[in-house]
Structure 1
Amino acid sequence: MDPADLADVLSSVREFIRSEVVPLEEQIDEQNEIPASLVEQCKAMGLYGFTIPEEYGGLGLTTAEEVQLVFELGYTTPALRSLFGTNNGIAGHVLLEGATDDQKKAWLPRLASGEVTASFGLTEADAGSDPSTLTTTARRDGSDWVINGSKRYITNAPVADVIMVFARTNPDAPGNRGISTFLVPADTPGLSIGPKDHKMGQFGAWTADVYLDDVRVPADAVIGGEDGIDKGFLTAAKCLAHGRVHIAALCVGMANRLVEESVAFAQTRQAGGKPIATFQLVQGLIADSVTDYYAGRALVLETARAFDAGTDKVAGPSAAKYFCSEMVGRVADRAVQVHGGAGYMRGVAVERFYRDARLFRIYEGTSQIQQVIIARHALGKAARG
């Protein structure tokens, strides 16, 4: 995108976040729902398709451009970004990374406009960071496939129009092999959605279980067609790598907000007749959070640059996601500490962000999975004995 156009997009999103979304954060948290007016504004601004190429109706942002936009989105409740996060991220990238031309033409424009919301159906009760234990199956029946199984904690499942379902198509293949991805419309007979999960935080971002009971789909539902059979894990890995850069940027945006909240409180809260900002121990908390924020931001920008260049699509995204998700947890904890008792009260932004931040160390690969990926990339064969 032309730098001037990108600047306009970032400026518009920044204004939208601060003037329209921030004032509604408490309402979103209490009601567990994003107001319809905000949803429509997000569609009109192109936020449902900022990573989708322009030829399919999206903004076509590079990863380096995307993370700058996500910095802005991270300033407010992560529930807003979750509305369109799956379209731009792990679900939409299933199509971008593995779909046939016909599949892309049929679905990507609808994802980009917000007409369709897509979900990423990989996680199961006993298969999350390690999909080798995935038990959902798909068997051939004539020219069709019949899918059976269940998925857990699927983002946007309650409102999804289509779900990218990962299923084992070759039961004899070891480990992560023998898995394929299926494009399954949510109204397909046999597919049902469980009740919304009641989570610790991130209210307004809906997740739920997905059940597949003899779900019959045609042969062209396989992502990538016949060439895509048994290649689902490779597609998932590519999608998750991009998603990790995205989540890292989101954590940086949230850290920025938490630093601002901490600074503003320290400047105005009085203790002993003077602002607590004059106390060096409080200054130390602020300094550590500012430093964490700067480090995370620089890491994400460099990781995004390398991702676009194709020079690092494995260790860099894992390192960024690992550091930034842990970093924002530290910044949130310090923000509560700076606020003292007020930081533990509902209705105070840092209390809500403290709850919201905890999830980032878990989804799209736990911190421990990122450690394994980073270490194996550095150590090579020696890491595997």
Structure 2
Amino acid sequence: MVDFYLDDEYRELSETVRDFADNVVAPVSRRHDEEHSFPYEIVAQMGEMGLFGLPFPEEYGGMGGDYFALALALEQLGRVDQSVAITLEAGVSLGAMPVFRFGTDAQKEKWLPDLAAGRALAGFGLTEPEAGSDAGGTKTTARLDGREWVINGAKEFITNSGTDITKFVTVTAVTGTSGTPERKEISTIIVPSGTPGFRAEKPYNKVGWNASDTHPLSFREARVPEENLLGERGRGYANFLSILDEGRIAIAALATGAAQGCVDLSVKYAKERSAFGTNIGKYQAIQFKIARMQARAHTARLSYYDAAARMLAGKPFKTEAAIAKMVAGEAAMDNARDATQVFGGYGFINEFTVARHYRDSKILEVGEGTTEVQLMLIARQLGL
């Protein structure tokens, strides 16, 4: 029997995070967006709530929950502030999850407790100037010199990589060849912050997600111990692809929240704004626009619920995650555009949340796999 109703535990979590988003996050979102400042105080409070530890076992300081619990939290945060939501998503999915999935016992014991408590953040360095969707084009290298990896190269668009509480980044690097000289052996290596030769460069001046932390990274003869290899040598690219599959569910949840946030704001505004002697919500043109927005948000939610259910049941979910990510990302962007239209001139003013959603939502069709990559994955599953 298919059942997408939330049980009491999930519902209570969702309501708790919704209250936190509305009463704690939303009041400071505009300031952080305008100042391009990282919301350390919000991150600390999310850590105290256990949000960074939701899908991790209690033995590592986690909450003993699951990935769907994380997705529910991301949806509620995404309604009001995508920067805060992506900080949590990347902190868990890209920062801590690779260590949990592929790390040694020693690596888990060293890094996970602080990550799960929100006392520390970590980034994942995959994308490079010439290797984005084509991650197999990685040019960053790591060679063994005695008992140390020596890393050289550059990464781009790395979230949570340069904050005051960033403890490390995990980077993909070419560590040799696999079978033939043309086939790269790609591994993942933990590089702690402060490592000589490793630098988080000047943060980007972005269109949106202004309160999230995003940097290019450079590595020049950066040395780390051999035991900082994360997972099996040569399995770095494959392991990261599995992390991306999970992460697409999380991004879909965030995008669903953004889509729903635009609906909620538009409904409220349509009931308050008058034109030609009546509230604009009485006009069918506005009603139909908002109705379509709600349909998109609802469809996006069902998509990520389905992908998460398959994942937790141990069933294949790669295609469903790609569908959810694509559907939700497009819903967020489409709803942000329509919400801006509902608000008229006010929708073009940054002090209104819909304007921030309009700027923020475009990256949801690009980051962690573009819409075109999702279509490619879906078509491949169809045998095309």
Assess same fold via TM > 0.5. Answer: yes
- Candidates 209, 221, 225, aligned match of 1:202: 209
Q: Partner of 1:69: helix, strand, or coil?
A: helix
1:342-369 deviations in Å (ceiling 9; x for gaps): 1111211111110010111111010101
Q: Partner of 1:27: helix, strand, or coil?
A: helix
Q: Partner of 1:364: helix, strand, or coil?
A: coil
RMSD of Structure 2 on Structure 1 (CA): 1.7
**Cα pair 1:263 1:286 within 8 Å, conserved:** yes
- Candidates 161, 165, 169, aligned match of 1:163: 169
Q: Structure 1 counterpart of 2:370, which letter?
A: T
1:248-284 deviations in Å (ceiling 9; x for gaps): 0001111111101111111111111011111111111
Paired with 2:125 and 2:269, the residues of 1 have a C-alpha distance of 41
**Cα pair 2:191 2:224 within 8 Å, conserved:** yes
1:222 aligns with 2:229: yes
- Candidates 286, 298, 305, aligned match of 2:302: 298
Q: Partner of 1:196: helix, strand, or coil?
A: coil
Task: For residue 84 of structure 1, report the CA deviation from its aligned partner.
Answer: 2.9
- Candidates 99, 104, 123, aligned match of 1:100: 104
- Candidates 279, 288, 292, aligned match of 1:288: 292
1:198-241 deviations in Å (ceiling 9; x for gaps): 000111101011110011111101012xxx10100111011101
Task: For residue 3 of structure 1, report the CA deviation from its aligned partner.
Answer: 5.2
**Cα pair 1:63 1:305 within 8 Å, conserved:** no
1:128 aligns with 2:135: no
Q: 1:176 to 1:44 in 2, by over 3 A?
A: farther
Correspondence list, 1:270-285, <5 A: 270-285=274-289
Q: Structure 2 counterpart of 1:61, which letter?
A: G
2:349 — aligned with what? 345
Paired with 2:323 and 2:39, the residues of 1 have a C-alpha distance of 35
**Cα pair 1:190 1:212 within 8 Å, conserved:** yes
1:21 aligns with 2:25: yes
> What are the ranges of 5 or more consecutive residues in structure 1 without an aligned counterpart?
none
Paired with 1:39 and 1:17, the residues of 2 have a C-alpha distance of 12
Correspondence list, 1:244-255, <5 A: 244-255=248-259
Q: Partner of 1:73: helix, strand, or coil?
A: helix
- Candidates 306, 311, 324, aligned match of 1:307: 311
Paired with 1:10 and 1:261, the residues of 2 have a C-alpha distance of 19
Paired with 1:340 and 1:7, the residues of 2 have a C-alpha distance of 35
Paired with 1:146 and 1:342, the residues of 2 have a C-alpha distance of 53
Q: Partner of 1:75: helix, strand, or coil?
A: helix
1:42 aligns with 2:49: no
Task: For residue 61 of structure 1, report the CA deviation from its aligned partner.
Answer: 2.3
2:3 — aligned with what? none
1:377 — aligned with what? 381
Paired with 2:219 and 2:41, the residues of 1 have a C-alpha distance of 33
Paired with 1:173 and 1:91, the residues of 2 have a C-alpha distance of 31
Q: Structure 1 counterpart of 2:199, which letter?
A: S
Paired with 2:192 and 2:335, the residues of 1 have a C-alpha distance of 40
Task: For residue 115 of structure 1, report the CA deviation from its aligned partner.
Answer: 2.5
**Cα pair 1:92 1:118 within 8 Å, conserved:** yes
- Candidates 359, 362, 367, aligned match of 2:366: 362
Q: Partner of 1:359: helix, strand, or coil?
A: helix
1:9 aligns with 2:16: no
Paired with 1:284 and 1:370, the residues of 2 have a C-alpha distance of 29
> What are the ranges of 5 or more consecutive residues in structure 2 without an aligned counterpart?
1-5
Q: 1:91 to 1:36 in 2, by over 3 A?
A: closer
1:292-329 deviations in Å (ceiling 9; x for gaps): 11111111111110011121231111110011101111
Task: For residue 156 of structure 1, report the CA deviation from its aligned partner.
Answer: 1.2
Q: 1:358 to 1:69 in 2, by over 3 A?
A: same
The TM-score, its normalising length taken from structure 2, stands at 0.94
Paired with 1:92 and 1:337, the residues of 2 have a C-alpha distance of 39
Q: Partner of 2:230: helix, strand, or coil?
A: coil
1:178-201 deviations in Å (ceiling 9; x for gaps): 100001101111101110100001
1:52-87 deviations in Å (ceiling 9; x for gaps): 222211123222332222221112111112333223
1:97-125 deviations in Å (ceiling 9; x for gaps): 21112211211112111222100011100
Stretch of structure 1 that moved more, 126-135 or 307-316: 307-316
Correspondence list, 1:173-184, <5 A: 177-184=184-191
Stretch of structure 1 that moved more, 277-286 or 191-200: 277-286
**Cα pair 1:176 1:233 within 8 Å, conserved:** no
